[in-house]
């Protein structure tokens, strides 16, 4: 009579398969503990061969012996190189990871901008604080340019800084506009670089041909 998997006991650790589970069950039928322990060591070597990617380290060795106990549903009594694992510890579910509840005023700027603003508020030196505000303004524009090629007015950046700092940070906007102090240094676009490279190669080739004709 064919025995279908649907009526069989579930495989405890699928990476080893049903045959290993059946062999481990057979180990429990061996009455002599010393003989049972020897067969268990052979069983662990077989489990190691089934997963050749496992490195031969003490940690892996202990995992294999732990897996042997798990497959036996912690019923096998053997003298192994490692203590019998604690069932409660192995079956203990990990605690749920807590999510940050920090509210971010402007999500497109991220939390780091808010941290920089908080740091700038604490600066007592006026020049250092002004430099920090300018740096924050540059970063804000950089973040906006990364997903939106449209320009943003300096006044909008200034209002955002004021809002994030609860109006504690201030800067002379006439000075900012006159010197484009909030404007970040944007990298050349790829097309512009390619065009520049082509023009440079064309000039070099033309100069080379001119020298040969001379």
Least confident of 23-27, 41-45, 72-76, 203-207: 203-207
Structure tokens that stand for 211 in this block: 């020298």
User: Global pTM?
Assistant: 0.43
Residue 95 and residue 88 in contact, taking contact as beta carbons nearer than 8 Å: no
**Measured between alpha carbons, how far is residue 25 from residues 18, 76, 107, 140, 166 in Å?**
10, 9, 57, 65, 69
d(CA 141, CA 183): 7
Alpha helix (H) residue ranges in 52-189: 58-71, 87-91, 111-122, 126-147, 154-164, 173-179
- In degrees, rounded to 5, the angle at the alpha carbon of residue 85 between the alpha carbons of residues 95 and 69 is 115
How far is it, in rounded angstroms, from Cα 38 to Cα 30? 11
Give burial (CB, 10 Å; 0-12/13-18/19+) of 100.
exposed
- The residues, any chain, with a CB within 8 Å of residue 40's CB and separated by 6 or more, are 27, 68, 76, 78, 80
Q: What is the pLDDT of residue 188?
A: 44
28 vs 97 pLDDT, higher one:
28
Look up residue 9 and give its two tokens.
């006991």
Which pLDDT belongs to residue 131?
94
Confidence of residue 87 (pLDDT cuts 50, 70, 90): confident
pLDDT in tens, 104-160: 677 777 788 889 999 999 999 999 999 999 999 998 888 887 777 667 789 999 999
Of 41-55, 59-73, 191-205, the poorest mean pLDDT is in 191-205
Per-residue model confidence as pLDDT tens digits over 38-64: 999 999 999 988 887 777 788 889 999
């Amino acid at each position: 009579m064919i025995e279908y998997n649907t009526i069989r006991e579930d495989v405890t650790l699928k990476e080893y398969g049903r045959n290993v589970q059946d062999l481990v069950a057979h180990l429990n039928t061996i009455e002599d503990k010393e003989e049972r322990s020897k067969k268990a060591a052979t069983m662990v070597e077989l489990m190691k061969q089934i997963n050749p990617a496992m490195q031969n380290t003490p940690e892996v060795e202990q995992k294999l012996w732990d897996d042997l106990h798990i497959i036996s549903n912690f019923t096998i009594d053997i003298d192994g190189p490692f203590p019998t694992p604690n069932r409660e510890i192995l079956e203990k579910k990990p605690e749920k990871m807590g999510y940050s509840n920090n509210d971010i005023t402007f999500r497109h700027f991220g939390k780091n901008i808010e941290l920089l603003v908080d740091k700038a508020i604490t600066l007592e030196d006026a020049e250092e604080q002004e430099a920090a505000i300018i740096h924050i303004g540059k970063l804000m524009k950089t973040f906006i340019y990364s997903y939106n090629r449209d320009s943003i007015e300096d006044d909008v950046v200034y209002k955002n800084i004021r809002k994030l700092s609860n109006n504690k940070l201030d800067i002379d906007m006439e000075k900012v506009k006159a010197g484009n102090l909030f404007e970040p240094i944007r990298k050349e676009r790829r097309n512009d670089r390619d065009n520049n490279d082509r023009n440079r190669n064309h000039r070099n080739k033309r100069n080379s041909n001119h020298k040969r004709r001379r």
